[in-house]
Structure 1
Amino acid sequence: MSGPFDDIANTVFADKAVLTESYHPETILERDEEIEAYSHALQDVLFGREPENIFVYGKAGLGKTAVTRYIIDELQKETETRPDADDLHIHTINCNGRTLFVILRTLVNDLLPEHASRFPKRGLGTGDAFDELYRQFDRIGGTHLAVFDEIDHLEDADTLLYELPRARSNGHVSNAKLGVIGISNDYTFRRTLSPKVKDTLMETEISFGPYDAKELRTILGHRAESAFVEGACDESAIAKAAALAAQDMGNARQALDLLRVGAELAERNGEMPVTDGHVETAREQVQRGRLENKIRDQTEHGQYILEAIANLQSRGAVPARSKEIQRTYEEVADAHAASPLSTLKSIQDHLSDLHMLGFLRRHGRNEGLSGGQYYEYELDLDPTIVLETRAEITAHTE
């Protein structure tokens, strides 16, 4: 009796993981300027001085996290050879879906000695967590770099970014030196910070722009050498994936997805080599997956608002004003046993952000003296994708 895998004998892939988001390349291509700016901003660490604060901006898939990881690894290795450099400690945490207290508690627990009791989940506040964090920094000493990925998703970023950079000048730490690296998908994130935080940070800003087709082709070509068995991928497939991604978002992650999914289609059909036709066929599947990931990347309430507009759109009730969206949003939040945002202004801020990110179409209306000026909103994507993605997220959290 034959089994379901009996007919599977050949593969186009030598190392499929090379084309995935989780792969960490040893060589960073097409980001020389950003690497130089990063290394210049962190050079004080090599001489035992307090590090600069750094903010890294750019949309998803533009290499921010990969370059940060590469720079940190290289800095760690270099400090071990420098007599003036203090011991370097790196603390990396993703802010998406986490409160300030959870972030501080996680940092404290990472710093505590193995035998010590963990910092409690309940019973203490944010101020207590900051105090314990400072004690642990000073106990360990040396230089500490705190890397906050997706910091634009943290609702109380002001407090974090006001406290940590001032910890030494305020006398909270004396034996340790602290630096903050913030990574944000939102180019406008700094505008949301309070004036006192902006004055405190005095940070270096490094902006990651989209890749062009030539740069993406270089990246894909380098990955393809390891990803495919010899002769399994045409140059035309690499060029097609690079061109399609460059025309859309200039996103390396999208280009890699196009090439990988195209190769999967070719393999499923028993066809070799992978061609530009396979990549073109993979385009719709990749676009849907990318939209789903973008939805998942939004804050909890941002997702509720998207779900509310998708519900309205499914009923033919769009474009809709923010007050109409607010009512449906409150119903969605209640259905998920969440406390809704209390003000219309907070809803409007989320709508503005979602419009800027490309989720929504916004229509300006002017009804003169009788009705005034206002905006109406509708989705700029298939509402089915939003509702199905939200259903999957809810199913995994219950």
Structure 2
Amino acid sequence: MGMFRRDHLVFANAKPLDDSYEPEDIRKRDQELAKYQRALQPIIDNRPTSNIFLYGKTGTGKTVATKFMLSHLENDAADYDDVDLATIWVSCENLSSSYQVAIALVNEIRRKQDKDRISTTGYSQQRVFDILYEELDALNGTIIIVLDEIDNIGQSDDILYGLPRARSNGYVENIRPVIVGISNDFQFRDNLSPKVKDTLAEKEILFPPYDANQLISILEPRADKAFHDGILESDVVPLCAAFAAQDSGSARQAIRLLREAGELAQSNDDETVSEWHVREAQDELEKNQLYEGMQELTIQGHAVLCALAFHQAMNEVPVRSRTLYERYMNICNQFDADSVSERRVRDHLSDLSMLGLITVYERNEGLSAGRYHEYELDVPLRAVLNVLRSTNRFEGIADTIKDNVKEQ
């Protein structure tokens, strides 16, 4: 027998445990789907349609709900001769500016038409926008433009100003663009420029974290399809749901935990998947998530994390952002890197909080000091320093911090 062999004992069909799996129905999101349906209904009625923004932490069903609703919308629109509808979907995961988003939109339209893509560099932003308007106007009817993880563009929000006004400004004549923005950052809209806020005129749909019972309802039909009968012990699905509910309320996290537990049982040649496998899988996923989250940060994100690690090492936490910003500036000066504004540092702190790396405390001292936030690490300092030491730029600073750790 070789090193690799096909398993016939644990998994019957692992596809329902894959991130790309699209379920036949969306569970425990009835209110959100009803709001979504009302927001999209004007398209069928051939009426002006508001832009739609979905907010919620990762794994709360925003993307899968959007795919579900747009699939139904496209099928139903086909029944009406006077409704023309097209959808363009772009993930902004690795896009940090309106320029990059516009390029991605142009190339997605051209990909569908088997046309040559344009270069990602060499154009002015206005020229890219002009090309985008030309490509859009060659289509007809309502064009739904889905921008997944739109918060990655930060304050470079010109695309959100230009697209909603494209028709009124005469840039397009034949189409009505509708933006569907999907964001993990509840404060994304607050950080937009005033002109963009006034232009968007969007409907907002909030996706709260799932609780344990909701996650059980989501996991059970997937587990029934994914595993052979009798493989899962009775406490496996509830425990996966409980772990995910306590941490982030993420269905994606609960599903990955269930899959990891199954793979662990498979690798051990165990006859059933038990509570032990879930707990072992949880430990492994937590470790991987922690390191991946920190390693994927930008240079500025690492610099902010490094500044907070310094205060954590000196037992000076929780720390206010203005104090943290001074340390951040010192760190940037040490390796001769460009620094960003204090407001942008607060944005990076929000990102770190969303990743579960730090804890944010809101303080309110009334008229004397008003409201402000304080921050501290929510993960072991040693783990943070190990990640920082693995990057050439921060290795020396991380060693210095490690040498000056005060007893907690």
TM range (shorter): 0.7 to 0.9
SS for the counterpart of 2:42 is helix
| Deviation larger for 176-185 or 187-196 | 187-196
**Conservation of the 8 A alpha-carbon contact between 2:92 and 2:153:** no
Query: For residue 184 of structure 1, what is the aligned residue in structure 2?
Result: 183
**Conservation of the 8 A alpha-carbon contact between 2:144 and 2:177:** yes
SS for the counterpart of 2:90 is strand
Task: Give the whole-Å Cα distance in 1 for the aligned partners of 2:72 and 2:390.
Answer: 39
Task: Give the whole-Å Cα distance in 2 for the aligned partners of 1:330 and 1:386.
Answer: 18
Relative to the length of structure 2, the TM-score reads: 0.82
5 Å-filtered alignment, 1:19-168, equals 19-112=17-110, 118-168=117-167
Query: For residue 379 of structure 1, what is the aligned residue in structure 2?
Result: 377
Query: For residue 238 of structure 1, what is the aligned residue in structure 2?
Result: 237
- Offset at 1:385? 4.1
5 Å-filtered alignment, 1:193-212, equals 193-212=192-211
SS for the counterpart of 1:179 is strand
Task: Give the whole-Å Cα distance in 2 for the aligned partners of 1:167 and 1:120.
Answer: 23
Task: Give the whole-Å Cα distance in 1 for the aligned partners of 2:294 and 2:58.
Answer: 12
- Offset at 1:85? 0.8
**Conservation of the 8 A alpha-carbon contact between 2:155 and 2:192:** no
**Conservation of the 8 A alpha-carbon contact between 2:90 and 2:108:** no
- Offset at 1:92? 2.7
Task: Give the whole-Å Cα distance in 2 for the aligned partners of 1:35 and 1:296.
Answer: 35
| Deviation larger for 11-20 or 215-224 | 11-20
5 Å-filtered alignment, 1:327-366, equals 327=329, 329-330=331-332, 340-351=338-349, 354-355=352-353, 358-361=356-359
Unpaired segments ≥5 residues, structure 2 = 364-370, 393-408
**Conservation of the 8 A alpha-carbon contact between 2:7 and 2:266:** no
- Offset at 1:115? 7.5
Q: Write the deviation string for residues 64-98 of structure 1: whole angstroms up to 9, x where unpaired.
A: 11111111111111111112211323333324443
Task: Give the whole-Å Cα distance in 2 for the aligned partners of 1:304 and 1:179.
Answer: 37
Task: Give the whole-Å Cα distance in 1 for the aligned partners of 2:386 and 2:9.
Answer: 32
- Offset at 1:130? 1.0
Classify 1:233/1:283 alpha carbon distance in 2 versus 1 (closer, same or farther; 3 Å): same
Residue 103 of structure 1 aligns with an amino acid whose one-letter code is: V
Task: Give the whole-Å Cα distance in 1 for the aligned partners of 2:220 and 2:17.
Answer: 11
**Conservation of the 8 A alpha-carbon contact between 1:95 and 1:148:** no
**Conservation of the 8 A alpha-carbon contact between 1:236 and 1:276:** yes
Unpaired segments ≥5 residues, structure 1 = 366-372
Relative to the length of structure 1, the TM-score reads: 0.84
Task: Give the whole-Å Cα distance in 2 for the aligned partners of 1:157 and 1:265.
Answer: 44
Residue 214 of structure 2 aligns with an amino acid whose one-letter code is: E
**Conservation of the 8 A alpha-carbon contact between 1:361 and 1:379:** yes
Q: Write the deviation string for residues 143-200 of structure 1: whole angstroms up to 9, x where unpaired.
A: 2111111111112443121111111111111111100011111111111122222221
- Offset at 1:357? 5.8
Count residues in correspondence. 383
**Conservation of the 8 A alpha-carbon contact between 1:93 and 1:148:** yes
Task: Give the whole-Å Cα distance in 1 for the aligned partners of 2:190 and 2:71.
Answer: 30
Residue 141 of structure 1 aligns with an amino acid whose one-letter code is: N
Residue 326 of structure 1 aligns with an amino acid whose one-letter code is: Y
Task: Give the whole-Å Cα distance in 2 for the aligned partners of 1:102 and 1:155.
Answer: 12
Classify 1:346/1:188 alpha carbon distance in 2 versus 1 (closer, same or farther; 3 Å): closer
- Offset at 1:329? 4.3
SS for the counterpart of 2:157 is helix
Residue 42 of structure 1 aligns with an amino acid whose one-letter code is: L
Residue 39 of structure 1 aligns with an amino acid whose one-letter code is: Q
SS for the counterpart of 2:79 is coil
- Offset at 1:133? 0.9
Residue 284 of structure 1 aligns with an amino acid whose one-letter code is: D
Task: Give the whole-Å Cα distance in 2 for the aligned partners of 1:144 and 1:68.
Answer: 15
**Conservation of the 8 A alpha-carbon contact between 2:40 and 2:49:** yes
Classify 1:326/1:9 alpha carbon distance in 2 versus 1 (closer, same or farther; 3 Å): closer
RMSD: 3.3
SS for the counterpart of 1:78 is helix
Residue 88 of structure 1 aligns with an amino acid whose one-letter code is: A
Task: Give the whole-Å Cα distance in 2 for the aligned partners of 1:231 and 1:375.
Answer: 50
- Offset at 1:121? 3.2
Query: For residue 326 of structure 1, what is the aligned residue in structure 2?
Result: 328
